[in-house]
Chain A
Amino acid sequence: EAQVTQNPRYLITVTGKKLTVTCSQNMNHEYMSWYRQDPGLGLRQIYYSMNVEVTDKGDVPEGYKVSRKEKRNFPLILESPSPNQTSLYFCASSLSPQPSADTQYFGPGTRLTVL
């Protein structure tokens, strides 16, 4: 089944404790992206990747890192989480980064709480 998977789905952690949220897609998509979603603010892009070894900052990259060492995986790393990073996180992928009708496919989301 074609899908984007994220792990963990739920995480409660404490300030300063490094964590990684994994994202994997099995559709051979070139483009992958991370978003956070907060009430009243909609989806805001954190980082995106047009292809392997190519990553770029989105609108809210502070406090996050990513890597794209292989096409299928795009982990999101929080080196020192803070309470303002409490949010719902979505990973998404699409076949091509170029303009087209090609839709983005979203993972199920990771609900992160930082105490």
Chain B
Amino acid sequence: GQNIDQPTEMTATEGAIVQINCTYQTSGFNGLFWYQQHAGEAPTFLSYNVLDGLEEKGRFSSFLSRSKGYSYLLLKELQMKDSASYLCAVRDNSNYQLIWGAGTKLIIKP
């Protein structure tokens, strides 16, 4: 079956670094996305990985290992505005639709 796992909630301190993990088991793989979603708002795109390795974009980086079915989102120099849910989504090979994890709620403390 199709399954994407993320921790439900994480807490971190302002200025620190946090890593949010995502593991997936899907019938096929054609790319992995990370989105940020503030409470009550729409998801917004953060990153895309299709090949193994690290993609860096400012304070945010995303890593992918296809052989392990594993990705992580790394957030550096945390700011209060980073308090949000982070959604991992995998594009299925069969119909190219996105399969979504339940999201990780990140709480930033001063």
Residues of A within 8 A of B (CB): 33, 35, 40-45, 48, 56, 58, 90, 97-99, 101, 103-104, 106-109
Contact = CB atoms under 8 A, between A and B. Distances in A.
A46 B92 CA distance: 16
A42 B50 contact: no
A73 B93 CA distance: 27
A90 to B, nearest CB: 6
Contacts of B102: 40-42
A58 B44 CA distance: 21
A45 B97 contact: yes
Contact of A108 (B41, B91, B97, B100): B41
Contacts of B31: 99, 101
Interface of B is mostly: loop
B41 A42 contact: no
B42 A104 contact: no
A98 B96 contact: yes
Contacts of B33: 103
Given A101-B31, A101-B50, A106 B42 contact: yes
Contact of B43 (A90, A99, A101): A90
B87 interface: yes
Nearest to B48: A101
Nearest to A111: B40
Which of A35, A41, A104 has the most chain B CB atoms closer than 10 A to its own CB? A104
B100 A44 contact: yes
